[in-house]
Structure 1
Amino acid sequence: MKLRILTLTAVTLLIVSCGTKKAAPVATATPAATETAKTTELTPALAEGKNLYENSCARCHKLYDPKKFSQEDWKPILVRMQKKAKVDDTQIALISNYITSQL
């Protein structure tokens, strides 16, 4: 009797585990979303600023989308983070220019 219960339980678990797999939703790009995406060609200085932003800032926290804050909001954030990230004035200017170009 125990063998039948264990077998029935094992078969039930196998069927349930195979039948409950859920597929992740697939994101599709719509033409409207593609048109509204702003693509800015990066000059070498802006590319360096992007590189500094991604490498200096991501060491401590997640990267924020530059559009999340206004240009006025970014100024005190960058000043405050400059010392923590150990970047000099030239590097912070490159980061600031990159963020401003993405707004």
Structure 2
Amino acid sequence: MKYIVLALISFSLAACFSSKVATDTVSEPTLNLDKAKAKFPGYSTAMFDSGKKLYDSNCQSCHALKDPLKFTEEQWTKLVPSMSAKANKNKGANLSKEDEDLIFKYLVSVGL
């Protein structure tokens, strides 16, 4: 009986200190090319693919990828340049203004 009580107390204490696992998942983005072209004249599937590749390969070097739908265009306008600068400075990335633009347009176009 003592062992059962001791086991229950041990499990209860262990549950109090268990770590939480992140469950924020990013769904596979899709492109509505007509809406993206209306927003960004001249935008193409190749630009979307390039932006996604840049986002996937550079942004996750510092943190988990964020769901593009969780941020507004205004928020991405501020986040992309600041995160790009951090990646260039701290992670040795070499993201240009053109790369930032591709990432920004990719993130915004996912939500259109």
The alignment's TM-score, normalised by the length of structure 2, stands at: 0.55
Number of the residue aligned with 1:72: 74
Q: Which residue of 2 aligns with 1:3?
A: none
Runs of 4 or more above 3 Å deviation: none
Shift in Å at residue 39 of structure 1? 3.4
For these two proteins, the number of residue pairs brought into alignment is: 67
Shift of the 101–89 alpha-carbon distance from structure 1 to 2, 3 Å rule, reads: same
TM-score scaled by length of structure 1: 0.59
Which one has the largest radius of gyration? 1
Identity across aligned pairs (percent)?
Answer: 34
CA RMSD of aligned residues (A): 2.0
The alpha-carbon distance between structure 1 residues 46 and 38, as it changes in their structure 2 partners (threshold 3 A), is closer
Cα 1:64–1:56 change in 2 (3 A) is same
Alignment of 1:7-46 (within 5 A): 39-40=30-31, 43-46=45-48
Question: 1:55 pairs with 43, 57, 64, which one?
Answer: 57
In the TM superposition, what is the alpha-carbon distance from 1:97 to its structure 2 partner? 0.8
Gaps (5+ residues) in structure 2?
A: 1-27, 33-43, 89-94
The runs of 5 or more residues in structure 1 that have no matched partner are 1-36
User: Take 1:53 and 1:38, find their aligned partners in 2: how far apart are those partners?
Assistant: 12
Amino acid at match of 2:108: T
CA distance in 1, matches of 2:29, 2:85: 31
